[in-house]
C-alpha cells in the first residue's frame, strides 16, 4: 500500500498528465477510468501543473473491509463489490497548488487483487 500511494504522490510532480496516467493505471481493474477521464476530472477540480500532493497511508491502522461496496455517489460503479481483499485505511493528504495549501486525513479504500495493490479514485470527481 505504501508503494501504491507513494507512486501517486510522485506522479503529481510530473504534471497533471503524469498524475492522471498513474491514477488511471492503478485504479482497481473493475473500477477503471481512462487517462482522459482522470485528466478531465483533475482539471475540473481547478488543479494546475503546479499541483502537488503527498499521500501517506497509515498502514498500521489498515483494516480488512469484507463486503465493502462502492457508494451511491460512485457513478457508473455504484454498488460494485470489488474483487480481491478490500481494505479501509486512513491516508494523510497534503496538497498544494498556486493558490492553496491543504492538509487533511481521509478514510480511503484500497484492494489487493492477484498480489497487486489498487485504489479507487473516481476520475469523474475531483481528486
pLDDT in tens, the chain (127 residues): 999 999 999 999 999 999 999 999 999 999 999 999 999 999 999 999 999 999 999 999 999 999 999 999 888 999 999 999 999 999 999 999 999 999 999 999 999 999 999 999 998 754 3
| Residue ranges making up the domain that contains 61 | 2-119
8 Å CB contact between 89 and 1 = yes
Helix, strand, or coil (residue 25):
helix
Residue 127 lies in a domain: no
Residue 47 lies in a domain: yes
Q: Which three three-digit cell numbers place residue 68?
A: 465493502
8 Å CB contact between 75 and 122 = yes
Residue 125 lies in a domain: no
34-60: burial string, b at 16+ Cβ within 10 Å, e else: ebebbbebbeeeebeeebebbbebeee
Residue 81 lies in a domain: yes
Would you state the pLDDT for residue 127? 39
User: CA dist 122 to 60, 61, 98, 115, Å?
Assistant: 25, 23, 24, 22
Question: Which CATH number is 47's domain given?
Answer: 3.10.450
Residue 63 lies in a domain: yes
Would you state the pLDDT for residue 124? 73
Residue 124 lies in a domain: no
How many domains, in total, are found in the chain? 1
Residue 126 lies in a domain: no
Amino acid at each position: 500500500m505504501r508503494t501504491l500511494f507513494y507512486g501517486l504522490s510522485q506522479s503529481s510532480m510530473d504534471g497533471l498528465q503524469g498524475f492522471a496516467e498513474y491514477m488511471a493505471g492503478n485504479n482497481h481493474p473493475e473500477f477503471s477510468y481512462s487517462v482522459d477521464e482522470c485528466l478531465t476530472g483533475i482539471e475540473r477540480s481547478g488543479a494546475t501543473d503546479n499541483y502537488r500532493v503527498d499521500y501517506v497511508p497509515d498502514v498500521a491502522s489498515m483494516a480488512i473491509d469484507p463486503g465493502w461496496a462502492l457508494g451511491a455517489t460512485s457513478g457508473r460503479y455504484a454498488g460494485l463489490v470489488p474483487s480481491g481483499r478490500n481494505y479501509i485505511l486512513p491516508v494523510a493528504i497534503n496538497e498544494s497548488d498556486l493558490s492553496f495549501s491543504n492538509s487533511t486525513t481521509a478514510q480511503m479504500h484500497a484492494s489487493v487483487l492477484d498480489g497487486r495493490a489498487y485504489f479507487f479514485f473516481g476520475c469523474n470527481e475531483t481528486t
